[in-house]
Amino acid sequence: MKRVLGKVSKEIAENWNINEHKNKKIVIYEEAIKHSMERHIDDYETIEDYYYVMNSLEKIINNPDYVFYDKSKKGLEYYKQLKSDILVAVRVNNGKELKVKSVYPVKRSKVENRKKKEEEMKLYNKYVVSVN
pLDDT tens for the chain, 132 residues: list them. 899 999 999 999 999 999 999 999 999 999 999 999 999 999 999 999 999 999 999 999 999 999 999 988 999 999 999 989 999 999 999 999 999 999 999 998 888 888 888 888 877 766 765 544
Provide CB contacts within 8 A for 109, sequence distance 6+: none
Cα(86)–Cα(63) distance, rounded to whole angstroms?
A: 13
What pLDDT does residue 5 have?
98
Provide CB contacts within 8 A for 98, sequence distance 6+: 8, 21, 24, 25, 26, 27, 76, 90, 91, 92
In this structure, the chain runs to a length of 132
- Distance between first and last Cα of the chain: 48
pTM here is: 0.89
